[in-house]
Amino acid sequence: MLCNAACSSPKITVDRTDAFSGQQIRRTNSVEITAIFNGSPFGAVGHIRVVGDTRMLYIRFTDDERFAIGEGAELLFKLDNDSIITLYSMERSFAKHERVGDTHQYALETLYLIPDDALETFQQHNIAVIRFYANDGYREWEVPKRAFKKLHKMFNLI
């Protein structure tokens, strides 16, 4: 999942009923969460998937070192009102090596469950800092103003 022109404005890209389960399925397009392409290829891009009543934040993290996360690993969001929301990984995931032009990086894709109370808070406040925990510690980024506006809009689409 690369952040390209599709990341420019959050919108619903899938809105259908599953033929087998009858559950409503929705998905937003991908949104740049951190300054992933501002001079550094390392950061995070994500979108929201909804299946029935279950909301998930799908994130792709990139870094210059190999890393992994375990099931239940924490993803923390510090909001503009200084509150902190913690989401938990739904799966184990391992970063895979990628080459993007002359840059070598490691990318990891994973899902985090979004509880109802967290969704309501995301809809009301902007995200200032994001931190996720991996097997070798944590990575943290400040969220640029243009990105938190897109994130805020994305959470309000659901």
Domain CATH code at residue 108: 2.60.40
Percent of the chain with pLDDT strictly greater than 90: 41
Beta bridge partners of 132: 75, 139
Is residue 51 packed enough to be buried (19+ CB in 10 Å), middle (13-18) or exposed (0-12)?
middle
Contact 132, 62 (CB under 8 A): no
What residue has token string 């979004």?
Answer: 114
pTM flag (> 0.75): yes
Angle at 86 between CA 40 and CA 136, to 5 degrees: 55
User: Of 95-99, 124-128, 140-144, where does mean pLDDT reach its minimum?
Assistant: 140-144
How does pLDDT run across 24-72, given as a tens digit for each residue?
Answer: 999 888 876 665 444 455 678 888 899 988 999 998 888 888 899 999 9
pLDDT of residue 7: 45
Using CA of residue 117, residue 10, residue 56, residue 75, what is the dihedral sign? negative
- Domain count across the chain: 1
Q: What average pLDDT is seen over the chain?
A: 84
Of the two residues 9 and 29, the one the predictor is more confident about is 29
Q: Which domain holds residue 36?
A: 5-157
Contact 143, 150 (CB under 8 A): no
H, E, C per residue of 6-25: HHCCCCEEEEEECCCCCCEE
Of the pLDDT bands very low, low, confident and very high (cuts 50, 70, 90), residue 139 is confident
Residue 106 has pLDDT above 70, yes or no: yes
